[in-house]
Amino acid sequence: MFEEVHQLVLGLIPVKPGRVLDVGAGSGRDAAALSRLGHRVVAVEPVAEFRALGGLLHAAEGIVWVDDVLPTLARVEGRFDLVWLSAVWMHLEQAERAEAMRRLAELVAPGGAVMVTLRHGPVPTGRHMFDVGDKETIDLARSCGLRVEIHEQDRDFMGRAEVQWSSLGFRKTLKP
């Protein structure tokens, strides 16, 4: 399922094993897939139940689980070859998105990539979610020294006709 859902951004994943940060990892589907590719994965998830489930489901994967949250990711240290945000960005308010993008740009190593998916469509009742535009996200990334490498749209893999997704890939330049 990982390869199908993320087919448009698989080229961002480093070929050589490296450090990967999965922000908003949920129960760990993506973190586990990235770990199986040989990467050392840090999975950030603020919901204790998801962290516990992920730890049980993927115990053999060697994933490091961290209780943290955007926009600050205060407990995350070091640099990463890939920073992965699947179905997360739309939960941040506008002011939080600016701060979060600056933090992601700090966490990605020179030459590394940041992947963000954006959900477009009606916001479900009772959810803290926003319809975030591609342009806003691209402009934020550029203002933080990240260049656009991938900008693609895709269908909703849950079959919702009113929902579409954007996949964005950014690369940090080698020189500051």
User: How far apart, in whole angstroms, are the C-alpha atoms of residue 104 and residue 160?
Assistant: 30
The pLDDT value recorded for residue 173 is 87
In this structure, are strands 80-85 and 164-172 parallel, antiparallel, or unpaired? unpaired
- Given a contact cutoff of 8 angstroms between Cβ atoms, the answer to whether 130 and 123 are in contact is yes
Provide the mean pLDDT of the chain: 95
Q: What average pLDDT does the segment 78-84 reach?
A: 98
Given a cut of 60, whether residue 176 has pLDDT beyond it is: no
Q: What average pLDDT does the segment 86-109 reach?
A: 97
E strand or H helix at 84: strand 80-85
Token duo for residue 90: 């739309």
Q: What average pLDDT does the segment 146-170 reach?
A: 91
Contacts of 171 (CB under 8 A, 6+ apart): 111, 112, 113, 114, 146, 147, 149
User: How far apart, in whole angstroms, are the C-alpha atoms of residue 99 and residue 93?
Assistant: 10
Which domains occur in the chain, in start order?
2-172 (3.40.50.150)
The pLDDT value recorded for residue 123 is 87
The pLDDT value recorded for residue 146 is 98
User: How far apart, in whole angstroms, are the C-alpha atoms of residue 79 and residue 72?
Assistant: 15
The pLDDT value recorded for residue 124 is 86
Q: What average pLDDT does the segment 28-46 reach?
A: 97
The pLDDT value recorded for residue 157 is 81
Per-residue pLDDT tens for 124-138? 888 999 989 999 999
Q: Global pTM?
A: 0.94
Given a cut of 60, whether residue 103 has pLDDT beyond it is: yes
Given a cut of 90, whether residue 155 has pLDDT beyond it is: no
